[in-house]
Structure 1
Amino acid sequence: MIKRLKYEEVDWQKYQNCLEQSEQYIFFAEKKYLDLLLHQNWEILVDNDYEAVMPIPLAKKWGFTFVVMPLQTQQLGVFSEKDTQELNESFLKFFQQHYKVFYYAFNAKNEFTILLKTRKNYKLFAEDYESIKKKYSIHRRRNVRITNALRDKIKFTEAENLNHCESFFTENVIGFSNFSLKKRAFENMKNFLSQNLLKVYELYFEGELASQAYLIESENEDFLVNFINDKKFSKYNLSSIILDQIFRKNIEKKDFNFHGSNISEIAEFYRRFGATEENYSFVENSKIQLLKSYFIRQ
């Protein structure tokens, strides 16, 4: 039987055990991750004695409480020892009956017989670097080549802090509709870095910051939650070079999750690294639909 538990009612050890033993494990569902983004503004659905769980992020605006995915969080959904359509659809039905949903994304391993909207994501699976590079498109292999003319002009580093780059982030980040969201996204990154959950790789061109890759780290997978590039350096292919340098460093040990994208140009950029496409389902309502749901009996 599925039931709804508020934050203070959750047995967090049982939640963690269920998550770690689940077929669908993804770091976004970890308590330490969601707490940093949401504090205690989330709860869970649980089946029986934590045989399956589903984290529910909550937001409040204009006196209304609704479900919306937190910034820089691509997928959540149902976590269980074995993914089944029947269980997932039981959670989906309960979820839609008990919550007002603006936007919620299930994980790529959650399967449904019900036709839901889907989004695309791209991943590279852990393998030795040379094997990964062979999967690059010809165009991408050419782009990541560091010529003699470029070698002395670029520097690849790992940032120790983010004190130097707030303006670079807010001026160049894409995917956020206003400055306030950009600022909040940057503060999230500072919080994750302070908790050793984030690594930030940087590429400098002639001493000037040109590209940044923000990676949320888990034991078996890294997530590219922000990828920031100054367009004035685009002719040097630095966005390709920085990712290639990261793969040289990490891809043999961990999967790499590109964290998107449905935007065709970005998707093509990821595909040229040989990335595998996956799809995840989501539930979405417009602001008008959401407001109507508060006043009109369904």
Structure 2
Amino acid sequence: MNLYFSRTLKPWCLMLRYLLHQEINEEKWNDCVAASAEHIIYGYAWYLNAVCRNWDAVVEEQDGVYVSVFPLPLGRRWGQLGVLQPYFTQQLGLFTTVSSAFKNIQDYLALIPDKYKNVYLQLNTGNTNALNIEIQTVSLSERVTYHLDLRPTYKDLLKNYRNRHKLHKAQRSGLEIKPLKNIKPLVSIFKATKGRELSEMKEKHYRMLAGLYEVLQKHNAAELLQVVNSMAQPVAAALFIVQPGKVIFLFSASSEEGRKSAAMTLLLDHVIRKYANANVIFDFEGSMVPSVAKFYANFGATPVPYVSLTKQHKPWYLKWKDAISTS
């Protein structure tokens, strides 16, 4: 039994268990995520396996069925093992069903073993109103993603665009949207542009993205598109996740020519047009960067908050310093 668990929760809370990765029943896990109120594709075991070398979890089980799950992806920061948000995974957090008895995230955090000194997680949008954190070492920060409700007709959605001049420019540029069967062109464009600015993006992350794309394909959840110019050269590309009720703008890139010709505006408009008049939310996946957020808002998307959670271990000598400080 986890000692931290036994001293933190009351005896009637024993339905919550910390499970090592090898102890998790992935079929039960996936059934729980699929039935959860917070259902989002990042939470499935097969998705987590694609973006994490290892992950544990806190699980609420009733009569052999998982009714709540809280994934804990493991990674290293500065050489120290901790619970860290994986790449290509905007939101995780708590997934609950109608049978869940424990919906306070603090109960799940209490079961994280002491050996994981640092915790950084981005919770899902459904967790925002379920937060009741009273642990002094936990800090919360609000983040936003941008959602566009695609139930209206395309004609009505178009009325809310604030970038129609860019769309018209792209439409006059001789650009064409085509499916992309291989993710390499997308990665190549990204490496030559935004990737140069992101020192934290390593080759292992591009390999992870390629592997994730293959996994998404197996689950019929990937849509990979490119924009080509009049010479059939790709100038922009994007990977979208398609799940029931939601399309997620996961990863994209535009060349210099693509930016000048507003190729990404044309591509996003294409996807919005395709899924318009359906019970679908288009999730732009952010951003906290004002210029990017404005770009998404120009399609009529609205900000939706979610929370990032940080729990940092403070060494004993810093605690002692704080205790005696008079300044």
TM-score by length of 2: 0.78
Secondary structure of the residue aligned to 2:182 is coil
User: What letter corresponds to residue 43 of structure 1 in structure 2?
Assistant: D
Superposed CA offset, 1:262-285 (max 9, x none): 000100111111112111111236
Q: How does 1:96-245 map to 2 (within 5 A)?
A: 99-110=116-127, 111=129, 112-114=131-133, 116-127=140-151, 128-137=153-162, 140-145=163-168, 149-150=172-173, 153-173=174-194, 177-178=198-199, 181-195=201-215, 196=217, 197-207=221-231, 208-245=233-270
1:22 aligns with 2:36: yes
Point out 4+ residue stretches in structure 1 off by more than 6 angstroms. Answer: 294-298
What's the counterpart of residue 6 of structure 2?
none
Superposed CA offset, 1:54-99 (max 9, x none): 0110013666320111111100000102599952232234448674
TM-score by length of 1: 0.85
Q: CA deviation at 1:167?
A: 2.5
Could you list the runs of 5+ residues in structure 2 that have no partner in the other structure? Answer: 1-12, 134-138, 321-327
Could you list the runs of 5+ residues in structure 1 that have no partner in the other structure? Answer: none
Once residues 264 and 175 of structure 1 are traced to their aligned partners in structure 2, the CA distance between those partners, rounded to angstroms, is 20
User: What letter corresponds to residue 83 of structure 2 in structure 1?
Assistant: V
Superposed CA offset, 1:163-220 (max 9, x none): 4454322122359732x72533332332233231422111112333211111122222
What is the aligned residue count? 288
Conserved 8 A contact 2:186-2:236: no
Conserved 8 A contact 1:101-1:283: no
Structure 1 residues 148 and 158 mapped into 2: Cα distance closer, same or farther (>3 Å)?
Answer: closer
Once residues 239 and 196 of structure 2 are traced to their aligned partners in structure 1, the CA distance between those partners, rounded to angstroms, is 14
Once residues 186 and 246 of structure 2 are traced to their aligned partners in structure 1, the CA distance between those partners, rounded to angstroms, is 25
What's the counterpart of residue 59 of structure 1?
75
Conserved 8 A contact 1:189-1:198: no
The range that moved more, 168-177 or 119-128, is: 168-177
Secondary structure of the residue aligned to 1:268 is helix
Conserved 8 A contact 1:173-1:227: no
Once residues 294 and 167 of structure 1 are traced to their aligned partners in structure 2, the CA distance between those partners, rounded to angstroms, is 47
Alignment RMSD: 2.9
Conserved 8 A contact 1:170-1:183: no
User: What letter corresponds to residue 121 of structure 1 in structure 2?
Assistant: T
Once residues 262 and 38 of structure 1 are traced to their aligned partners in structure 2, the CA distance between those partners, rounded to angstroms, is 24
Q: CA deviation at 1:131?
A: 2.4
Once residues 225 and 234 of structure 1 are traced to their aligned partners in structure 2, the CA distance between those partners, rounded to angstroms, is 18
